[in-house]
Structure 1
Amino acid sequence: MSLTTILKTASSGMLASQISLRTVSDNIANVNTPGYVRKMADQNSLVVGGMGMGVEISGVKRITDQYLQMATLTASSDANRWDVVSQYLDNAQSLFGDPSGDNFFFSKLDEVFNAFSQVSDDPSSSLLRSQALSKVQDLLSEGGRIGGQINDLGKTVDAQVKADVDRTNDLLDTINRLNADISRAKLANADSSGSENIQSQLVDELATLMNVQVAQKQTGGVTIRSVEGLMLAGDGRAAKLSYNRTDATAGYIAVEPTNGIGFAQPIQVTGGRIRGLLDLRDDVLPGIQDQLGEFISRASEQINAAHNKSTTIPPPKVLQGRDTGLDLPTAVAGFSGQTRIAVLNQAGVAQSTVAIDFNAMTMTPGGAFTPANFLTNLNAALGGAATATFVNGALKLEAAGTNGLAIDEGTSQKAGKAFSHFFGLNDMIRTGATSTYDTGLRTTDPHGFTAGDTISFRLAHPDGKPIRDINVAVPAGATMADLLTSLNDPTTGAGLYGTFSLDSKGAMTFAGSAPNNATLSVTQDLTERGVGGRSISQLFGLGALERSTRASRFKVDQALTSNPMKLSLATLDLSVAAGRPAIAAGDGRGARLIAAAGDVVANFSAAGELGAVSMTVSRYASEFGGSIGRQAQGADTRKQSAESVSNEAIARRDSVEGVNIDEELVRLTTYQQAFNASARMIQAAKDMFDVLTNMI
């Protein structure tokens, strides 16, 4: 071996040691830098013509484990998803108050029943009546407040999704640009670890927002793909994501077309903060609102049922019903049992009565009737002592002169409601919209909507990713069966993805079918029942937007709050002897009926976490309160579990990628000694060269 070869070999050793020392010093300097990945010089033997000629540094590489990296990204996505869900569910739960405190929302229902129990002991007390009505209004006001604040939470979530999508776009763009820097460094055999570390940290942040597939490129850098494999970054350009949503539909994330040519491509997002926020906006928070609306609706329904069984003293001159959303023949059709309408004087003595037998379809006096001529026959039976009118879906009874009216509900029943209750003739709690969606309609009844009017739906996967939009026209066929057939048509309706059905109380529901298990939202509804009547979505409560706003629709009848003595607390008794009052002063049986309303079994529709159940309102209040707590606890448990997995994955990744001071100091000593040895070899070669020179 020549002296020149020795010098070159030793020089390569010194250079390799110098680069390795620089790498070690960089590692030690960044021992506390978050996201820093330790690096090492890639050292290889230099061979020329089959002969060893020293050492070369082929590059500086980061010490990474792709499996651990992917495990960390997946765990981080899952942890951040449940972290945001847990956070907002805690906020939602706090809106209902502390269960052990005085302001717990569900305890207000018990306060209502307790207040009316006290009224039953002294029905003549205006103060007790006023306090009882205040308790009812407190319950309704709190329900409206909570519903409004949950709606505000939804708006906050919506804004956060948009902000996170914007941040995701920034990350994808930066990751894509760093690919070019890394590739250039790789081609030049330079150190690209700085850019790679920055890129790795950005990928880690991206995983907290949404779950992605990450793969290493042979030329350096990474490719980022969505769950289903759609390229997001790494092929020379970065995709631009958009957040697509309306108030009425579920939100989803889509890749916008390049240069505005083509259509947006929806993608799956199954993890990260964005998934958690979408779940909150489209499922969790609307579910709580729907459940709150169902609770308030059924509680109001039971209180109104008891109030409609009673009357005030003296009896009211006018009984004004609510808008049923139906025409009178359809509203009357389907009733069973008997009811009686009494005209009373100011002393409560019956002046005349009309007995209605819906089973036999007769009135006494008056004879037989049909749903079509019900109003005419009723007015004839009343004989001028009172009049009945039906305007804008509402039945109204008005007594003549100074007389008043009272109704004995008897055994009458339709859709679980007695006659006066179904029409809302003596409701304590009023609402200007449909609340329980038990229309009482049967498949043989006329649907009443204008043929040709359209309703538009969006069918989507459970995660919000759209399947298709459909427009359904009201059919020429006049019955509810015809309407259901159109809605379930496999070509022009939703029949390929689910089924619309009508239950025994006239409530319409949609159930998605496997394998898509589609959800349905209403994007536009141009239908109306009759002229200016309710639309299909309003009458049947289709779509989350319609159902989730119910809680704020209720209030105590203004006439009662203005004069609590108009509260109906007496019970009509038409079995008394002629000339005797059918309602007695001091009668508090109506108050006892209201006080016991919480113990009457009611049928609750599926809402939120609770399915369709039959139970008392008081029991439902307990179940509702418990379900919110379970949701919050469940989200917190899943968050903690996901965080444990994430922390373990991070710890294992850090054990491979992180800087260990002891190990680096050992390498430092090794490279120092190697550098010194190479330097001594150069010195020895120099000495030998000097000797040879002197000999010459």
Structure 2
Amino acid sequence: MAGSLTLALRTAQSGLLTNQEALNSVANNIANVNTPGYSRKVVNLQQNVVGGIGSGVEVAGITRKVDEGLLKSLRIESSTLNAFDARDPYYARLQDLFGTPEDNTSLSHIVAEFNNSVETLALNPANTLEQSEVMRKGEDVAMTLNNLSDSIQELRLQTDADIAQATVRITSLLDNIGTLNNELISGSAINVDVSDLRDSRDLAIDELSTLIDIRYYSRSDGDVVIFTESGRTLLDNTGATLNHPQSSAISATSSHSEGNISGIYVGATTTANDITNDIRDGKLKGLIDMRDSILPGLQSQLDEMAAQLSASVNLAHNSGAPHPGLQTATGTRTFIDGANQSIEFDGTSDTTIALMDSIGNQTATTTVRTLLGGNSGTIDTVASSMQTWLRNNGATGATVAVNADGKFAINMNTTTVNMVMRDETATADGSTAANATIKFDSNSAVPGVFEETVSGFSNFFGLNDFYVNNQGDEIHDTGILSSTYTLGSNTTLSFYNTVDTPAGAGMGTVNLTAGQTLDQMITAINDASVGVTASKVTDGSGFRLRLAESKGRDMVVTANNTFAADVGLKVAEVRSASTIAVRSDIVSTPGNISRGALQWDANKGAAGEYLMSAGDDTSIQALARALTATTQFDQAGGLTALNVNFTTYTTSIISFNSSAANNNQTGLDYQTSLTNSLQAKSDNFRGVNLDEEMTQLMIFEQAYGAAARIIASVQKMFDALEAVI
């Protein structure tokens, strides 16, 4: 009898303790009904059997109500959402910077104002106020391009700082998840409830998925292994340490591919541990895209605009001169070896050099072909023959030479005569004015092979440029190449700089093999160790091959075939927008703007003479036409090649980037809706339902009360038994 009563007492006691634990779980559910990340806990009961006889009830375990498949999908979509979201504030700032084409501060409006000022000056070329206005409006264009470029690089620097912060947070989360893994394993081993630890770990994984694309799986002991979508392990027993050395400054030439922006490293700071290009989603992906693709693409568009604007304006400006001519002229082209680099006039074209008095009348004239004794000559020969002629014709102290900076410099050193140049179709005096075609042999390696063809003699040297920049020739870029580009034929590249000139052995050569991919070509150039760093720079949907002189010296790159022309290899336009400026002497003296051009009057003198007229508008009209004429713009930053005028191109830049911002917003809106929908489903499944919990509370409360009554009844029976004894 006592044994049966004891068993009944223990059975009732198990019911009391089990329902007490169940009530505690219900109370915990109710208390955390609004706690983020909390999942409803379910108490699983099972019959306790001892020796084949039922002996009450026990808690088999406490499980979480979580749909793991839904949770994985939610984390994947959340990662995509945060990539869009990371880009959104930067797009908003870009929209503020560029505005709309109708804004008075927009680039397109400022370019249009520059054109208006030029057209106004053309009506009265001698008007000093209008000359100053052209200078000022030209400066406005340059400064706007400078400021936009600076702002883009500042945004890139900010994204780089955000990337560094994100890597610190990822490392912290991985460390936290690793700690929770260890606690889960320890708790599970001694049958301690670890469901709340799993909730804490889920919260950390949720946040981690917003920062970087992750995939994961759980082992049988309860710990979780985390890796990126590309397969890089982030957590396996211990969490990896992510680090990104933040940049202190970023310029238009800075890129991760070139190595002047640090990577995102898992563990030691080595190339093998750089996962920057492996990250496919999350906030980090959005920031990387903005820093390495979107913002550089916009910079590329601005550089293309600045380069073409400079080229068109300078070609027109070099066709004329201020009245009555030039006293000094320093070119903008850099020569690394004037004794061996040479030019050749194409066809019958020639360039007249005339000396004018203070009112614009001719005092002496010759042509470049006449000075050279033919259609070609080295740069040094051009300089020495010009200097001799100037000194023999009234400018006795004139100097013409390639200066220490490698620029072709002319100084009359007298105020009695002024120099003017005019390209013509032939050598004879008074031949039709037309830009001469100048072919440039930059290395003299193969006689008769020219690496570049330029329109205009003065324009070739940059002797009378309106726009200048302070960038060197140390960086060369190709045009945009597709990701599937392969080299068409065997090619030998030769490299020269200001030290290793064409007169000597040069820097070295690199042999490239037909069929090589862009990456293989880069490896071949870098492995050759010729003092050139090759890299692949993202531009829009394609890539540019970039060649940089390792010590920052001016460089010449030539090929033994048509490779350079085929891929558009030339001195890089990168930095054009950030460095463009109106020539300093024009800023200080707007009267130095070219308005007129050298004219031929067949009725002057015995057989005709050249003259410069103060009221001539030939050059300024050419400049006005250049600003409104269609110009061929190359593909840049995702913007397709266009043949439009400058105002239209600037409008295209604004429209392109406005469209990109709208597309990002559309993606963000869609992804927000999708993620919220999945979040709602997950919350409904895992969340606490108060009505359901109150029902459970009543059930466990009744069971607890019944167990208590059983204990009371058994107690009475024990009392009765004791009284009988």
When normalised by structure 1's length, the TM-score is 0.82
Task: Check if 1:557 corresponds to 2:599.
Answer: no
**Residue 669 (structure 1) aligns with:** 698
Moved more, 12-21 or 362-371: 362-371
Q: Provide the rounded CA distance (Å) in 1 between the counterparts of 2:221 and 2:46.
A: 20
Q: Of 459, 463, 467, which aligns to 1:429? A: 467
Q: How does 1:141-220 map to 2 (within 5 A)?
A: 141-220=143-222
**Residue 238 (structure 1) aligns with:** 239
Task: Check if 1:407 corresponds to 2:415.
Answer: no
**Residue 253 (structure 1) aligns with:** 264
Q: Of 263, 273, 279, which aligns to 1:265? A: 273
Q: What is the DSSP-based 3-state SS (H/G/I as helix, E as strand, rest coil) of the residue aligned with 1:433?
A: coil
Q: Of 658, 661, 668, which aligns to 1:639? A: 668
Q: Provide the rounded CA distance (Å) in 1 between the counterparts of 2:273 and 2:189.
A: 35
**Residue 359 (structure 1) aligns with:** none
Note the C-alpha offset of 1:446: 7.3
Whether contact under 8 Å (1:432, 1:553) holds in the other structure is yes
Q: How does 1:456-605 map to 2 (within 5 A)?
A: 483=509, 485=511, 494-495=520-521, 525-526=550-551, 528=553, 533-534=554-555, 548-574=574-600, 576-579=602-605, 582-605=611-634
Task: Check if 1:620 corresponds to 2:649.
Answer: yes
**Residue 393 (structure 1) aligns with:** 406
Q: Provide the rounded CA distance (Å) in 1 between the counterparts of 2:108 and 2:184.
A: 60
Whether contact under 8 Å (1:325, 1:534) holds in the other structure is no
**Residue 344 (structure 1) aligns with:** 356
Moved more, 303-312 or 604-613: 604-613
User: Unaligned 5+ residue runs, structure 2?
Assistant: 257-261, 424-433, 439-452, 479-490, 527-532, 559-563
Note the C-alpha offset of 1:677: 3.0
Note the C-alpha offset of 1:426: 0.9
What amino acid sits opposite 2:263 in the alignment? Y
Whether contact under 8 Å (1:522, 1:542) holds in the other structure is no
Q: Provide the rounded CA distance (Å) in 2 between the counterparts of 1:101 and 1:491.
A: 45
User: 1:25-51 CA deviation, whole Å, 9 max, x = no partner?
Assistant: 111111111111111112222233333
User: 1:241-269 CA deviation, whole Å, 9 max, x = no partner?
Assistant: 12257654414322215xx9x98623322
Note the C-alpha offset of 1:604: 3.2
User: 1:251-295 CA deviation, whole Å, 9 max, x = no partner?
Assistant: 4322215xx9x9862332211112221222222222222322221
Whether contact under 8 Å (2:493, 2:557) holds in the other structure is no
Q: What is the DSSP-based 3-state SS (H/G/I as helix, E as strand, rest coil) of the residue aligned with 1:485?
A: strand
Whether contact under 8 Å (1:498, 1:512) holds in the other structure is no
Structure 1 residues 524 and 426 mapped into 2: Cα distance closer, same or farther (>3 Å)?
A: closer
Note the C-alpha offset of 1:59: 2.1
**Residue 456 (structure 1) aligns with:** none
Task: Check if 1:651 corresponds to 2:680.
Answer: yes
Q: What is the DSSP-based 3-state SS (H/G/I as helix, E as strand, rest coil) of the residue aligned with 2:599?
A: coil
Note the C-alpha offset of 1:115: 0.7
Structure 1 residues 265 and 437 mapped into 2: Cα distance closer, same or farther (>3 Å)?
A: closer
Note the C-alpha offset of 1:631: 2.1
Note the C-alpha offset of 1:68: 1.4
Task: Check if 1:108 corresponds to 2:110.
Answer: yes
User: 1:100-121 CA deviation, whole Å, 9 max, x = no partner?
Assistant: 3221222110010001111111
Q: Provide the rounded CA distance (Å) in 2 between the counterparts of 1:43 and 1:365.
A: 105
Task: Check if 1:276 corresponds to 2:292.
Answer: no
User: 1:318-359 CA deviation, whole Å, 9 max, x = no partner?
Assistant: 232123345446764365352322222223223333334xxx
Whether contact under 8 Å (2:126, 2:615) holds in the other structure is yes
What amino acid sits opposite 2:343 in the alignment? A
Moved more, 46-55 or 62-71: 46-55
Whether contact under 8 Å (1:489, 1:495) holds in the other structure is no
**Residue 363 (structure 1) aligns with:** 370
Q: Provide the rounded CA distance (Å) in 1 between the counterparts of 2:225 and 2:141.
A: 55
Whether contact under 8 Å (1:570, 1:584) holds in the other structure is yes
What amino acid sits opposite 1:675 in the alignment? Y
Note the C-alpha offset of 1:83: 0.8
Structure 1 residues 368 and 341 mapped into 2: Cα distance closer, same or farther (>3 Å)?
A: same
When normalised by structure 2's length, the TM-score is 0.79
User: Percent of aligned pairs with the same residue?
Assistant: 27
Q: Provide the rounded CA distance (Å) in 2 between the counterparts of 1:571 and 1:523.
A: 39
**Residue 296 (structure 1) aligns with:** 306
**Residue 459 (structure 1) aligns with:** none
What amino acid sits opposite 1:394 in the alignment? K
User: 1:350-389 CA deviation, whole Å, 9 max, x = no partner?
Assistant: 3333334xxxxx4378445434744445556667336642
What amino acid sits opposite 1:22 in the alignment? N
Structure 1 residues 229 and 523 mapped into 2: Cα distance closer, same or farther (>3 Å)?
A: farther
**Residue 444 (structure 2) aligns with:** none
Whether contact under 8 Å (1:223, 1:234) holds in the other structure is yes
Note the C-alpha offset of 1:97: 3.4
Q: What is the DSSP-based 3-state SS (H/G/I as helix, E as strand, rest coil) of the residue aligned with 2:623?
A: helix
Q: Provide the rounded CA distance (Å) in 1 between the counterparts of 2:682 and 2:37.
A: 11
**Residue 295 (structure 2) aligns with:** 285
**Residue 468 (structure 1) aligns with:** none
Structure 1 residues 521 and 63 mapped into 2: Cα distance closer, same or farther (>3 Å)?
A: farther
Q: What is the DSSP-based 3-state SS (H/G/I as helix, E as strand, rest coil) of the residue aligned with 1:223?
A: strand
Q: What is the DSSP-based 3-state SS (H/G/I as helix, E as strand, rest coil) of the residue aligned with 1:333?
A: strand
Whether contact under 8 Å (1:354, 1:365) holds in the other structure is no
Note the C-alpha offset of 1:191: 2.1
**Residue 660 (structure 1) aligns with:** 689
Q: Provide the rounded CA distance (Å) in 2 between the counterparts of 1:633 and 1:78.
A: 17
Structure 1 residues 428 and 439 mapped into 2: Cα distance closer, same or farther (>3 Å)?
A: farther
Q: Of 113, 126, 129, which aligns to 1:127? A: 129
User: 1:565-587 CA deviation, whole Å, 9 max, x = no partner?
Assistant: 22211122225433466222222
Structure 1 residues 509 and 132 mapped into 2: Cα distance closer, same or farther (>3 Å)?
A: farther
Structure 1 residues 100 and 602 mapped into 2: Cα distance closer, same or farther (>3 Å)?
A: closer
Whether contact under 8 Å (1:256, 1:263) holds in the other structure is no
Structure 1 residues 498 and 645 mapped into 2: Cα distance closer, same or farther (>3 Å)?
A: farther
Whether contact under 8 Å (1:58, 1:189) holds in the other structure is no
What amino acid sits opposite 1:653 in the alignment? S
Whether contact under 8 Å (2:99, 2:654) holds in the other structure is no
Structure 1 residues 130 and 405 mapped into 2: Cα distance closer, same or farther (>3 Å)?
A: same
Moved more, 663-672 or 19-28: 663-672
User: Unaligned 5+ residue runs, structure 1?
Assistant: 357-361, 454-473, 501-507
User: 1:444-499 CA deviation, whole Å, 9 max, x = no partner?
Assistant: 9975337989xxxxxxxxxxxxxxxxxxxx999769xx846369997999427799
Q: Provide the rounded CA distance (Å) in 2 between the counterparts of 1:436 and 1:600.
A: 31
Q: Provide the rounded CA distance (Å) in 2 between the counterparts of 1:575 and 1:171.
A: 83
Note the C-alpha offset of 1:627: 1.7
Note the C-alpha offset of 1:187: 2.0
Structure 1 residues 520 and 255 mapped into 2: Cα distance closer, same or farther (>3 Å)?
A: farther
Q: Provide the rounded CA distance (Å) in 1 between the counterparts of 2:73 and 2:331.
A: 63
Whether contact under 8 Å (1:59, 1:190) holds in the other structure is no
Q: Provide the rounded CA distance (Å) in 2 between the counterparts of 1:523 and 1:380.
A: 38
Q: Provide the rounded CA distance (Å) in 2 between the counterparts of 1:316 and 1:300.
A: 20
Q: Provide the rounded CA distance (Å) in 1 between the counterparts of 2:645 and 2:475.
A: 19
Q: What is the DSSP-based 3-state SS (H/G/I as helix, E as strand, rest coil) of the residue aligned with 2:377?
A: coil
What amino acid sits opposite 2:294 in the alignment? V
User: 1:627-648 CA deviation, whole Å, 9 max, x = no partner?
Assistant: 2212222222222222222212
Structure 1 residues 333 and 523 mapped into 2: Cα distance closer, same or farther (>3 Å)?
A: closer
Moved more, 562-571 or 345-354: 345-354
Q: Provide the rounded CA distance (Å) in 1 between the counterparts of 2:466 and 2:152.
A: 27
The RMSD of aligned alpha carbons is: 4.0
**Residue 18 (structure 2) aligns with:** 16
Q: What is the DSSP-based 3-state SS (H/G/I as helix, E as strand, rest coil) of the residue aligned with 2:464?
A: coil
Q: What is the DSSP-based 3-state SS (H/G/I as helix, E as strand, rest coil) of the residue aligned with 1:123?
A: coil
Structure 1 residues 329 and 596 mapped into 2: Cα distance closer, same or farther (>3 Å)?
A: farther
What amino acid sits opposite 1:196 in the alignment? R
User: 1:76-125 CA deviation, whole Å, 9 max, x = no partner?
Assistant: 11111111112112212322234432212221100100011111112221
What amino acid sits opposite 2:244 in the alignment? Y
Q: Provide the rounded CA distance (Å) in 1 between the counterparts of 2:300 and 2:340.
A: 28
What amino acid sits opposite 1:408 in the alignment? R
**Residue 461 (structure 1) aligns with:** none
Q: What is the DSSP-based 3-state SS (H/G/I as helix, E as strand, rest coil) of the residue aligned with 2:19?
A: helix
